[in-house]
Amino acid sequence: MSPRRTVGIVDYGVGNHTSVWRALHALGYRCRVTQDTEVLNGTDLILLPGVGAFPSAMQAIESRGLAEYLRSRAREGRPFLGICLGMQLMADSSSEFGHTAGLGLIPGQVVPLQQAAWHIGWNTFESVGRDPLLRAIDGESVYFNHSYVFEAPPEYSVGVARLMKPFLVAVRRENVVGLQFHPEKSQSAGREALRRVINGLCDA
């Protein structure tokens, strides 16, 4: 039986941590919701949630002195998961409300979705590439709520969804994974995705 993991949910004042915390708790993980890097150091996986606009989120991270900590944590090879805006913050930059630098954990830019004004609702997740991490939810519907997308080189793509054309909704660079959908609000498929990613990264 695998040890009980502790997930550090980064509290930078943006978004709904409660939903993520509840979902993880229901899956049997311990959680620490904090901006204290000492506390985050004691966790098995960093989870970066997020709701809202990219610039204000990056500003909130910078103002708490967390940006460099998050970069170094990812560089050290420690497990790292970003959800929705938290995934987008992993990019090099975003064009939302002007140019803003991101955390630069995975190469790429965050740009407006071209195929529609928004991508809201349940859409099919398609696992791509040979990465087994998200294969279990290939073909499942998960919940999206965003208008910007992460454009990354294909070697970092592990999942797409489609409107008229496919676009990137899951990225991975070694120990760092980003999910554009909300696994905590995607019912059974979302919880399965959370479980697979957290255990997969922690066991790697």
Partner 1 sequence: MGCAMLKKRLIGVITVRRGWAVQSFGFRRWLPLGRPEVLAQNLDRWGVDEILVQAIDRSVANRGPDFELLERLGRTGLSTPLIYGGGIATLADADRAVSTAADRVCVDALLRDNPREVDRISRHLGAQAVIGALPLARRDGTLRWLDHRNRGETPLLASALGLFQAGVVSEALLIDWRNEGAYGSFDEALLEAFPVAEVPVIAFGGLSEPAQLRRVLGMPRVAAAAIGNFLNYTEHAVQCYREQLVGVVLRPPSYRAMGQA
Instruction: Answer yes or no: 182 catalytic.
Output: yes
Per CB under 8 A, 97 contacts partner 1: yes
Element (H, E) at 41: helix 37-41
* Amino acid present at 52: G
Q: Which ranges in the chain belong to alpha helices (H)?
A: 17-26, 37-41, 54-63, 67-75, 85-88, 187-203
- Exactly one of 32, 64, 135, 195 binds partner 1 (CB under 8 A); that residue is 195
At residue 196, the 3 state secondary structure works out as: helix
Angle among Cα 65, 69, 71 to the nearest 5 degrees reads 120
Contact 150, 171 (CB under 8 A): yes
Q: Is 143 in the site for partner 1 (CB under 8 A)?
A: yes
Binding mask 122-141 for partner 1 (x = CB under 8 A): xxx-x------------xxx
Question: Which of the following is catalytic: 119, 182, 192, 202?
Answer: 182
Both tokens of 64, joined, read 């708490």
Among residues 42, 52, 65, 77, the one that binds partner 1 under rule CB under 8 A: 52
Quote the CA–CA distance of 165 and 172 in Å, as a whole number.
21
1 scored as a contact of partner 1 (CB under 8 A):
no
Q: Tell me if residue 84 is catalytic.
A: yes
With CB under 8 A as the contact rule, which of the stretches 35-43, 99-107, 143-151, 172-180 interacts with partner 1?
143-151
Q: How far is CA 176 from CA 71, 100, 119, 149, 197, in A?
A: 11, 21, 24, 17, 10
Task: Determine if 22 is a binding residue for partner 1 (CB under 8 A).
Answer: yes
16 interacts with partner 1 by CB under 8 A:
yes
What is the per-residue binding string for partner 1 in 162-191, x denoting contact by CB under 8 A?
xx------------------x-xxxxx-xx
Phi, psi angles (nearest 5°) of residue 41: -60, -30
31 catalytic? Reply is: no
- Which two tokens mark 155? 């070697």
The residues that touch partner 1, with contacts defined as CB under 8 A, are 15-19, 22-23, 25-27, 51-53, 56, 97, 117-124, 126, 139-141, 143, 145-147, 161-163, 182, 184-188, 190-192, 194-195
